[in-house]
A and B are shown apart, each in its own frame.
Chain A
């Protein structure tokens, strides 16, 4: 699991034991607790979980955009072997863009409303390659062509509000892949879009990934997107990883009751007239995470041991692990 620094198949992005603390009026709470995952070039890893489980917080700490009230208190984020959490600001800036970049969820607010998009798309080139404004805009037009924006030369002069939602998301993706990053983090890139546009955006991401051999971390709560798009999945709950493995295995045989609950709540086999299946209850308040298993309050299999002792993430197969005392039992169900 832990590769040596000179390992040729070292993951492009390797997050290890990441902990993020949030300062709140009622004390410090741990929003991300010991999250680890790795993703290789050309592979896609999905971070799956419901709202507030810490997946976006994980992504933001990887790219170094945490709010001042949040603080990384432990762990390592290795990008191509260097731990970005220990770099100085200036060294980090050199990595941002050519090595690591992010696609945001809300494309309208992620673009500057008073700048023509061509100029914004050219910005990475001006900063990292020292291009002139004219040359950077040429590059921007080339990028816009690549992500499928019609009449790119004309549209480069338009402002973000003059684009449709799908087009804006394409622009963001173009900006993120501008400098050929090794690792691309996509934070719910299709949540704000309608289903047909979603499919186009996901196809664009896949094409760019194969073309540029990127490692992609896909943050989402959409099970369908994970099933279609990702190779590996990390299921998060209340700031911890509860299960990970390849999508095929995890989705066909979940080994954690939470994953199973999530998969069962897909209304595919639901019977008309019956209530839709769902995981009952809601995730614990981060300031009052139970001392035992984090999922104990909502778990159908909860026993006395779950209250006493937090289950560690342990291997339950060739390349997968789950954090449940009774994962074998679930397998038999």
Chain B
């Protein structure tokens, strides 16, 4: 046995230690660390914010109408008030819960359904692929906002219906990406190799195709997250999305639009919240793509060059 172990190749392939823990990798990349902190904050606020603000988001005080952001009126006056004197901060906190409870399930639903169908269709090809893709084309051929308007006009505009309609209209995005990647991977040699020892196709998809496609799909999902939030705000603006007294970031932007000249903070602050959340999600997705790629992961473990230099390799910003 020992005569078969050649020292040179043992030396040029040093033993691989356990892959570094993901939180260490995250710590290495400052931008991604900040992004994950922002996202954690948003999620915490969305989950538990309402416990702290009580009914502050709805409490009106006409004497305090349209106060600009200042330090003089306690915590709830920090970000100013709207035309009815409601605290913008409290409304932002309240809206975080509504916004995420629409956007996250919608994105997750379309991600799961779209990728599963796309992987299956792309892997098997033939009739299954054609039928699936034509259905996707039909969905894509309607403007998604139009479908949403029609459906929500016919049915009640409940949060559940908004989630469903947003999910259905976004399914083709994942479906097409997943199908394209899966059709390419199907002809790769390691998939053939798995077939030669009799791996059933659903296990091949799960073990060999999905792990390679997943980072791409997650990146698409984070970009789509932004789209879904904006669509939800458009629907709310048209009056068929989130219904008052509930409030979402998109609805706040819509409501604050008419005061843009006089009270900028009503529309701009929820807009900033949307941008911060989506940018953080995108940065984190880019980091995750690198951290889950075994051939690229080592880049994140490199020591930083100097203070201020970005630890993010250029490959990540794509």
Q: Chain A residues in contact with chain B, CB under 8 A?
A: 63-65, 68, 92-97, 101-102, 104, 106, 109-116, 120, 123-124, 127-128, 145, 148-151, 154-155, 157-159, 161-164, 166-167, 172, 175, 178-179, 200, 203-204
B199 contacts A159, C-beta separation under 8 Å: no
* B198 contacts chain A at the CB level, 8 A cutoff: yes
A104 contacts B18, C-beta separation under 8 Å: no
B295 contacts A159, C-beta separation under 8 Å: yes
Which residues 102-160 in B have Cβ within 8 Å of A in the complex? Answer: 125
Query: Which chain B residue shows the least CB distance to A203?
Result: B4
* B72 contacts chain A at the CB level, 8 A cutoff: no
Given the complex, which residues of B lie within 8 Å of A158, measured CB to CB? Answer: 13, 15-16
Query: Would A96 and B195 be within 8 Å (CB), given that A114-B212, A150-B5, A200-B6 are in contact?
Result: yes
Given the complex, which residues of B lie within 8 Å of A204, measured CB to CB? Answer: 4
Query: Would A127 and B199 be within 8 Å (CB), given that A109-B189, A110-B193, A164-B12 are in contact?
Result: yes
A161 contacts B4, C-beta separation under 8 Å: no
Question: How near does chain B come to A158, taking the closest CB pair, in angstroms?
Answer: 4
B189 contacts A155, C-beta separation under 8 Å: no
* B1 contacts chain A at the CB level, 8 A cutoff: yes
* B192 contacts chain A at the CB level, 8 A cutoff: yes
Which listed residue, B9, B19, B192, B197, touches A167 by the CB 8 Å rule? B9
**Alpha-carbon distance between A148 and B2 when the two chains are bound, in angstroms:** 8
A127 contacts B203, C-beta separation under 8 Å: yes
Given the complex, which residues of A lie within 8 Å of B194, measured CB to CB? Answer: 112, 123
B5 contacts A167, C-beta separation under 8 Å: no
A96 contacts B294, C-beta separation under 8 Å: no
**Alpha-carbon distance between A115 and B295 when the two chains are bound, in angstroms:** 11
A167 contacts B13, C-beta separation under 8 Å: yes
* B259 contacts chain A at the CB level, 8 A cutoff: no
Question: How near does chain A come to B195, taking the closest CB pair, in angstroms?
Answer: 6
**Alpha-carbon distance between A184 and B15 when the two chains are bound, in angstroms:** 30
Given the complex, which residues of A lie within 8 Å of B5, measured CB to CB? Answer: 148-150
B197 contacts A128, C-beta separation under 8 Å: yes
Question: Interface range on chain B: under 10, 10 to 19, 20 to 34, or 35 or more?
Answer: 35 or more
A113 contacts B197, C-beta separation under 8 Å: no
Which listed residue, A109, A114, A123, A203, touches B197 by the CB 8 Å rule? A123
B212 contacts A162, C-beta separation under 8 Å: no
Query: Would A65 and B203 be within 8 Å (CB), given that A150-B10, A158-B16 are in contact?
Result: no
A166 contacts B189, C-beta separation under 8 Å: no
Query: Would A65 and B1 be within 8 Å (CB), given that A154-B16, A158-B16, A175-B197 are in contact?
Result: no
Given the complex, which residues of B lie within 8 Å of A64, measured CB to CB? Answer: 195
Question: How near does chain B come to A87, taking the closest CB pair, in angstroms?
Answer: 12
**Alpha-carbon distance between A225 and B135 when the two chains are bound, in angstroms:** 54
Question: How near does chain B come to A85, taking the closest CB pair, in angstroms?
Answer: 16
Question: How near does chain A come to B317, taking the closest CB pair, in angstroms?
Answer: 21
**Alpha-carbon distance between A64 and B15 when the two chains are bound, in angstroms:** 37
Given the complex, which residues of B lie within 8 Å of A96, measured CB to CB? Answer: 195-198
* B184 contacts chain A at the CB level, 8 A cutoff: no
Query: Which chain B residue shows the least CB distance to A158?
Result: B16
Which residues 177-202 in B have Cβ within 8 Å of A in the complex? Answer: 188-190, 192-200
Q: Chain B residues in contact with chain A, CB under 8 A?
A: 1, 4-6, 9-10, 12-13, 15-19, 125, 188-190, 192-200, 203, 207-208, 211-212, 292-295
Which listed residue, A111, A124, A128, A148, touches B4 by the CB 8 Å rule? A148
Query: Which chain A residue shows the least CB distance to B195?
Result: A65
A179 contacts B197, C-beta separation under 8 Å: yes
Given the complex, which residues of A lie within 8 Å of B17, measured CB to CB? Answer: 154
A115 contacts B198, C-beta separation under 8 Å: no
**Alpha-carbon distance between A27 and B198 when the two chains are bound, in angstroms:** 32
Given the complex, which residues of A lie within 8 Å of B196, measured CB to CB? Answer: 63, 65, 96-97, 101-102
Which listed residue, B12, B195, B197, B295, touches A161 by the CB 8 Å rule? B295
A110 contacts B198, C-beta separation under 8 Å: no
Which listed residue, A92, A109, A203, touches B188 by the CB 8 Å rule? A109
Given the complex, which residues of B lie within 8 Å of A128, measured CB to CB? Answer: 197-198
B197 contacts A97, C-beta separation under 8 Å: yes
**Alpha-carbon distance between A264 and B168 when the two chains are bound, in angstroms:** 68
Query: Would A175 and B193 be within 8 Å (CB), given that A112-B208, A148-B5, A158-B16 are in contact?
Result: yes
Question: How near does chain B come to A222, taking the closest CB pair, in angstroms?
Answer: 21
Query: Which chain A residue shows the least CB distance to B185?
Result: A112
B212 contacts A151, C-beta separation under 8 Å: no
A148 contacts B1, C-beta separation under 8 Å: yes
**Alpha-carbon distance between A162 and B194 when the two chains are bound, in angstroms:** 20
A123 contacts B212, C-beta separation under 8 Å: no
**Alpha-carbon distance between A211 and B135 when the two chains are bound, in angstroms:** 55
Query: Which chain B residue shows the least CB distance to A96?
Result: B198
Query: Which chain B residue shows the least CB distance to A114?
Result: B211
**Alpha-carbon distance between A94 and B13 when the two chains are bound, in angstroms:** 36
A123 contacts B4, C-beta separation under 8 Å: no
**Alpha-carbon distance between A96 and B153 when the two chains are bound, in angstroms:** 56
B197 contacts A127, C-beta separation under 8 Å: yes
A164 contacts B9, C-beta separation under 8 Å: yes
Given the complex, which residues of B lie within 8 Å of A178, measured CB to CB? Answer: 197
Query: Would A114 and B293 be within 8 Å (CB), given that A127-B197, A155-B15 are in contact?
Result: yes
Given the complex, which residues of A lie within 8 Å of B13, measured CB to CB? Answer: 158, 162-164, 167
Question: How near does chain A come to B187, taking the closest CB pair, in angstroms?
Answer: 8
